[in-house]
A and B are shown apart, each in its own frame.
Chain A
Amino acid sequence: MKKQTLANSKPLMGKIIDKQEECDDTYNFLIDLPVKNKTAKPGQFVMLWVPGVDEFPVGVAGYENDVLELGIAKMGPGTTAMLAKNIGDFVGIRGFYGKSFQTPKNINHLLIGGGFGMTPLKFLTKNLIERDDNLSIQIFEGARTKSKLMYLDWLQNLHEKDQIIFNVCTDDGSFGYKGFPTVALEKFLEESETPSVLYVAGPERMMKVIFDIGKKYENVIDMQMSLADRYMRCGFGICSYCAVDPTGWRICVDGPVFNTKQLEQISDFGVYRRLDTGEKQRI
């Protein structure tokens, strides 16, 4: 029980050691953390403090040798300030917070992402390709247009090496097929005779659509979706601004990844979210 008391701390100051443009308005950062032996798992997130500006949750894109990888897309004042940071600058990190994706053996791993949601899926992809007990690893990525596709080169390269199957699409047809990731996903599920687990991260409205699709297929044995883009303050379950109804689960601690059984109990999933005031807002 002793370990349960506040196993976290004030922001740890990490130094940015690399910054690469990933796609339009999106950069990949490598941050050297001053701690040892702290492991992160795919699906977990950190609270990223941009000193003097804001603090917000970001899905972990990778963690190796005390170096944290984060993908940041321009969304508001906090992310904009982060994109202005350069190698050598310090930013604050709290975490790693939340529950990770659970990955069974001998199944098709279907990773579906949109926008910012691709960051935890990158980490998951990296972990899965190191294993030899997968039926297949498939990525379904969609974006408005080619320049908004995250990790495009990296995923294409893995596809060419036959490590994954990369299904890519854009709303405007500028890359991949024209349409939504659900088209390729449904096509696969219709034809597949083997069990699959869906891992989804992205806008909640998209996740709800995928959830409803997944429920139609018996070969989908579980769906795990990350609700990490809800508003959060503390990250460790004390403030509860991120809690869902009617269960009172805190996304930061009891999530952000929830499975099919849990998602079915969350009445606000895809319907409304709570704002920084605690008021409900339709999704």
Chain B
Amino acid sequence: MSLITKIGSIDIRNPLILASGVMGTSYSTLQRIYNGGVGAVVTKSIGLNSRKGNPNPSVFALNEIRSAINSVGLANPGYQVFREDVEILVKNHVPTIVSIFGENENEFSEILNGLKDFPVLAFELNLSCPNTEKGGIQIGTDSEAVFQIVKRLKSETEVPLWVKLTPNVSDVIEIAEAAVNGGCDALVAINTLKAMVIDIHTKQPILGFKKGGLSGAAIKPIGVRYIYDLYERFEDRIPLIGAGGIMSGEDVIEYLLAGASAVQIGTALGVAYPENMIKFFISKIKKYMRENEFKSISEITGGAH
């Protein structure tokens, strides 16, 4: 039995990938989570310039639904500063996927070209952040823009390009189709769902940005459906990476059965000992594989179809 996971041309040691936005602002937390046992890590989304993001509160938990809401809003140090962190990660052989975002094709291109001298595993294009006025989700809902960005970036690098899709559209297949036609190497679904929380005492939205994105257990069935739909459409033409509300090893299996080749975990790691959580995930995946006589992760992928 092997946990080695294939995502297109890439092999990682197991199907767990740290999702963008969680513990990914500096090399030290990314290194820590990789040492903790995941197969690869995705950085916080990096942009052209440093960015403060939105005012606090910008992240809090909703424990009654084992979820979290955030409106961090792409706070990041800018790609020139972040190069230092990427350099340490690749030097330490941490399989790193750099998430990047931009307001337009040219911005994406500049960031990509500013980082492409590092042997990173892939670039993940964040076309789906719900917490900004411009960029992110706007681009991610425009299939023509998605096609153009992916096509352009593909012509500028040999490094695999992953596209992270937003669930906040009426037809995810159309956007996915555009990304695939543009030449992307994997699809990641889903990003957070548009959400908000209002305090009834003060009658005010709690998040500083008022509105945010929901992650955690509450969105898992939605993510599973997106992966299922995408697998139905593309089958093995494009690797799918499942994300959204994965809180246990069993949830990982569910995403794999829906059609994912690998998964991303994030909200589940907001605990005292994320390393233990990762070990727990892995042991559950192994147990399932043993009990169901699966020899590899790829045998599970799409099993529900």
CB-defined interface of B40-81 with A at 8 Å, one 1/0 digit per residue? 000010000011110111111111101110101001111001
Q: Is B238 an interface residue (CB 8 A)?
A: no
A10-B202 CB under 8 A given contacts A239-B25, A246-B28: no
Complex interface residues of chain A between 250 and 283 (CB less than 8 A to chain B): 250, 253, 274, 276-279
Q: Is A1 an interface residue (CB 8 A)?
A: yes
CB pair B52 A276 closer than 8 Å: yes
A277-B51 CB under 8 A given contacts A1-B276, A5-B247, A238-B68: yes
Which of the 9-residue segments B146-154, B222-230, B256-264, B267-275 touches chain A? B267-275
* Complex interface: chain A residues within 8 A of B32 (CB): 247-248
Which of the 9-residue segments A165-173, A207-215, A229-237 touches chain B? A229-237
Closest to A15 in B: B201
Smallest beta-carbon distance A161→chain B, Å: 39
Q: Please, how many angstroms separate the alpha-carbon atoms of A258 and B6 in the complex?
A: 40
Which of the 9-residue segments A38-46, A51-59, A143-151, A182-190 touches chain B? A51-59
Q: Please, how many angstroms separate the alpha-carbon atoms of A235 and B276 in the complex?
A: 19
CB-defined interface of A9-50 with B at 8 Å, one 1/0 digit per residue? 111010000000000000000000000000000000001010
CB pair A236 B270 closer than 8 Å: yes
Smallest beta-carbon distance A279→chain B, Å: 4
* Complex interface: chain A residues within 8 A of B68 (CB): 6, 234, 238
CB pair B61 A236 closer than 8 Å: yes
Closest to A232 in B: B56
A51-B63 CB under 8 A given contacts A1-B276, A239-B25: no
CB pair B22 A253 closer than 8 Å: no
Q: Is B302 an interface residue (CB 8 A)?
A: no
CB pair A234 B270 closer than 8 Å: yes
Q: Please, how many angstroms separate the alpha-carbon atoms of A9 and B60 in the complex?
A: 7
* Complex interface: chain B residues within 8 A of A116 (CB): none
Q: Is A96 an interface residue (CB 8 A)?
A: no
* Complex interface: chain B residues within 8 A of A94 (CB): 60
CB pair A49 B52 closer than 8 Å: no
CB pair A10 B277 closer than 8 Å: no
Smallest beta-carbon distance A22→chain B, Å: 24
Give the interface size bracket for A toward B: 35 or more
Q: Is B130 an interface residue (CB 8 A)?
A: no
Q: Please, how many angstroms separate the alpha-carbon atoms of A178 and B236 in the complex?
A: 75
Closest to A34 in B: B201
Q: Is B291 an interface residue (CB 8 A)?
A: no
Q: Please, how many angstroms separate the alpha-carbon atoms of A135 and B270 in the complex?
A: 39
Q: Is B136 an interface residue (CB 8 A)?
A: no
Total inter-chain residue pairs, C-beta < 8 Å: 167
Most buried by B among A11, A235, A239, A277: A239
Smallest beta-carbon distance A88→chain B, Å: 12
Closest to A254 in B: B272
Q: Is A244 an interface residue (CB 8 A)?
A: yes
* Complex interface: chain A residues within 8 A of B201 (CB): 13, 90
Smallest beta-carbon distance B234→chain A, Å: 31
Contact partner of B55 among A47, A54, A92, A235, CB < 8 A? A54
Q: Is B304 an interface residue (CB 8 A)?
A: no
CB pair B28 A277 closer than 8 Å: no
* Complex interface: chain A residues within 8 A of B56 (CB): 47, 49, 54-56, 233
CB pair A234 B50 closer than 8 Å: no
CB-defined interface of B198-212 with A at 8 Å, one 1/0 digit per residue? 010110101010000
CB pair B271 A237 closer than 8 Å: yes
CB pair B31 A238 closer than 8 Å: no
Q: Please, how many angstroms separate the alpha-carbon atoms of A17 and B204 in the complex?
A: 21
CB pair B52 A240 closer than 8 Å: no
Q: Please, how many angstroms separate the alpha-carbon atoms of A191 and B50 in the complex?
A: 51
CB pair A237 B274 closer than 8 Å: yes
Q: Is B197 an interface residue (CB 8 A)?
A: yes
CB pair A239 B22 closer than 8 Å: yes
Q: Is B168 an interface residue (CB 8 A)?
A: no
Q: Please, how many angstroms separate the alpha-carbon atoms of A4 and B61 in the complex?
A: 13
Q: Please, how many angstroms separate the alpha-carbon atoms of A94 and B59 in the complex?
A: 11
Q: Is B2 an interface residue (CB 8 A)?
A: no
Q: Please, how many angstroms separate the alpha-carbon atoms of A245 and B88 in the complex?
A: 12
Closest to A268 in B: B28
18 contacts between A and B (CB under 8 A): A1-B277, A4-B273, A5-B268, A5-B271, A9-B60, A55-B208, A56-B56, A234-B68, A234-B70, A239-B58, A239-B72, A243-B29, A245-B26, A246-B31, A248-B23, A248-B32, A277-B77, A279-B77
With A248-B31, A248-B33 known, 20 other A-B pairs at CB within 8 A are A4-B271, A4-B272, A6-B63, A6-B68, A10-B199, A49-B57, A94-B60, A236-B270, A236-B271, A237-B274, A238-B22, A238-B266, A238-B267, A239-B58, A243-B25, A243-B26, A246-B31, A248-B30, A277-B75, A278-B76
Which 7 A/B pairs are nearest by Cβ-Cβ distance?
A248-B32, A238-B270, A234-B59, A248-B28, A55-B56, A55-B57, A278-B25
Show the binding face of B for A, using Cβ within 8 Å.
21-33, 44, 50-53, 55-64, 66-68, 70, 72, 75-78, 81-82, 197, 199, 201-202, 204, 206, 208, 216, 247, 266-274, 276-277, 280
